[in-house]
């Protein structure tokens, strides 16, 4: 059989990607319950970390118990009008 010269050969590095319609996945009740339990644990751990960070900031005197900033002092390089170099 002779090779047909008119047959198109894809350029090197180019790939054909078929278009696939998105599927509506269905999940088992067990999977959904496990996902819910995981998200509950993640939210609880996040709340604990936020609480610890706030307690530490209060202990360091950075914020008060209502979350208001107590220290307004800025380093010399952050004061308005200071000559600062950001290394750029």
55 located within any domain: yes
79 located within any domain: no
39 located within any domain: yes
Residues 25-43 have a mean pLDDT of: 96
Q: Does 3 have pLDDT greater than 60?
A: no
pLDDT at 62: 84
51 located within any domain: yes
Domain count, the chain: 1
60 located within any domain: yes
pLDDT at 24: 85
41 located within any domain: yes
pLDDT at 15: 72
The parent domain of residue 62 ranges over 29-71
The 10 Å Cβ neighbour count of residue 57 is: 15
pLDDT at 88: 52
CA distance 62 to 11: 62
- Enumerate the β-bridge partners of residue 63: 69
4 versus 13: the higher-pLDDT residue is 13
47 located within any domain: yes
Global confidence as pTM: 0.52
């Amino acid at each position: 059989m002779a090779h047909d010269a008119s047959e198109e050969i894809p350029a090197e590095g180019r790939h054909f990607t078929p278009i696939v319609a998105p599927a509506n996945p269905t999940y088992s009740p067990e999977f959904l319950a496990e996902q819910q339990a995981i998200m509950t644990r993640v939210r609880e751990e996040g709340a604990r970390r936020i609480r610890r960070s706030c307690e530490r900031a209060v202990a360091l005197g950075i914020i008060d118990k209502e979350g208001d900033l107590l220290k307004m002092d800025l380093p010399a390089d952050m004061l308005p009008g200071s000559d600062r170099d950001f290394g750029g």
